[in-house]
């Protein structure tokens, strides 16, 4: 489906019935990373999964994509679909957006699933690396970003054993527009820390970590779960940053248990 929301043409799916799960992908990806979970949960839940602005089939305006703006896109989607409050599932950059969303629209959140993500802001060095990559993508296109990001997305064992999966994610990355790449990189670099928010999260929260995540180390996800009152932690074996695809079944089980309890 397509709707113009918050001034942007957003592509999304909205399928199934019941409590809404809103799946938010990371960078530089698309809703395709949630395919196994969408197929599993659509049986018993309403599942909404957008392509964020600048990604997938959504339009890609120029400018910096502040995490708060991306959160406003999601709130416009929730309002348009009349589906709140939602179980908000955010992968990596999708998690940064989830923190911004919870700050701005807590009434729209029934529960949080924080997926291979972190609360801290970028270091000065990290911000510089983002700007360098943004400039390279302006000059060389999405291939520069895919070359840098793809090797970190998977557990080393996945990268060796599942070349077709790696190639399918490369295709998603290469389809990301230059505005989407630069807007998101600069938006992530500018994002504030969410550490102050963590003790004030009052909705049920599940933190999911890939045991071999090269971008957000599992120990950092464990610390994130510790910092949120009552949060649970699910450690996904044989998986890296893209645990939703690398070990899809092992992600679905703890999510299902969590959803049944809330
Ligand atoms: C993502 O998967 O969304 C990115 O790795 C997040 C980041 O670069 O901080």
Question: Cα of 2 to ligand 1 centre, how many Å?
Answer: 25
What is the extent of the structural domain holding 196? Answer: 2-261
CA-118 nearest atom, ligand 1: 9
- In this predicted model, what pLDDT tens digit does every residue of 85-107 receive, in sequence order? 999 999 999 999 999 999 999 99
Which of 215, 220, 246 most suits a substitution to test ligand 1, by most atoms within 8 Å of the C-beta? 215
Can you give the pLDDT at residue 54? 98
> From the CB of 92, is ligand 1 less than 6 Å away?
yes
> From the CB of 93, is ligand 1 less than 6 Å away?
yes
Question: Cα of 17 to ligand 1 centre, how many Å?
Answer: 30
pTM for the structure as a whole: 0.98
- In this predicted model, what pLDDT tens digit does every residue of 215-255 receive, in sequence order? 999 999 999 999 999 999 999 999 999 999 999 999 999 99
CA distance 39 to 164: 20
In the sheet where 8-15 sits, what is the strand order?
A: 2-5, 8-15, 46-50, 20-24, 86-91, 109-115, 205-210, 232-236
Can you give the pLDDT at residue 90? 99
CA-116 nearest atom, ligand 1: 2
Tens-level pLDDT at each residue, the chain (262 residues):
999 999 999 999 999 999 999 999 999 999 999 999 999 999 999 999 999 999 999 999 999 999 999 999 999 999 999 998 999 999 999 999 999 999 999 999 999 999 999 999 999 999 999 999 999 999 999 999 999 999 999 999 999 999 999 999 999 999 999 999 999 999 999 999 999 999 999 999 999 999 999 999 999 999 999 999 999 999 999 999 999 999 999 999 999 999 999 9
Helical segments of the chain, H only: 35-41, 67-81, 93-104, 124-140, 142-153, 156-161, 163-174, 178-189, 218-227, 243-246, 248-261
Question: Cα of 51 to ligand 1 centre, how many Å?
Answer: 15
Task: Write the residue with the smallest CA distance to atom 9 of ligand 1.
Answer: 93
Per DSSP, the residues of 18-53 read SSEEEEE--TT--GGGGHHHHHHHTTTSEEEEEPPT
Can you give the pLDDT at residue 137? 98
> From the CB of 26, is ligand 1 less than 6 Å away?
yes
| Cβ proximity of 181 and 145 under 8 Å | yes
The CATH number covering residue 119 comes to 3.40.50.1820
Looking at the structure of the chain, the number of domains it has is 1
> From the CB of 96, is ligand 1 less than 6 Å away?
no
Closest by alpha carbon to 109, among 84, 138, 79? 84
Can you give the pLDDT at residue 46? 98
Give the Cβ contact number of residue 125 at 10 Å. 8
> From the CB of 30, is ligand 1 less than 6 Å away?
no
Q: Which two tokens stand for residue 215?
A: 């971008």
> From the CB of 27, is ligand 1 less than 6 Å away?
yes
């Amino acid at each position: 489906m397509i709707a113009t929301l918050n001034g942007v043409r957003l592509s999304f799916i909205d399928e199934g019935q019941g409590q809404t799960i809103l799946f938010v992908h990371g960078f530089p990806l698309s809703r395709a990373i949630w395919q196994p979970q969408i197929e599993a949960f659509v049986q018993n839940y309403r599942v909404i999964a957008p392509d964020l602005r600048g990604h997938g089939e959504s339009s890609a305006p120029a400018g910096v994509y502040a995490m708060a703006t991306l959160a406003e896109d999601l709130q416009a989607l929730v309002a348009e679909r009349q589906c709140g409050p939602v179980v908000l599932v955010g992968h990596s950059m999708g998690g940064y957006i989830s923190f911004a969303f919870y700050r701005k629209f807590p009434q729209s959140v029934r529960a949080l699933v924080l997926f291979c993500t972190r609360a801290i802001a970028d270091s000065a060095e990290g911000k510089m690396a983002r700007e360098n990559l943004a400039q390279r993508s302006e000059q060389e296109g999405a291939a520069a970003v895919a070359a840098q990001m793809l090797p970190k997305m998977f557990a080393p064992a996945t990268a060796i054993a599942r070349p077709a999966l790696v190639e399918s994610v490369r295709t998603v990355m290469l389809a990301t527009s230059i505005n989407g790449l630069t807007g998101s990189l600069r938006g992530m670099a500018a994002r504030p820390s969410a550490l102050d928010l963590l003790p004030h999260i009052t909705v049920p929260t599940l933190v999911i970590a890939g045991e071999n995540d090269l971008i957000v180390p599992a120990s950092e996800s464990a610390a994130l779960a510790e910092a949120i009152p009552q949060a649970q932690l699910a450690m996904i074996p044989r998986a890296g940053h893209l645990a939703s695809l690398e070990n899809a079944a092992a992600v679905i089980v703890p999510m299902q248990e969590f959803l049944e309890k809330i």
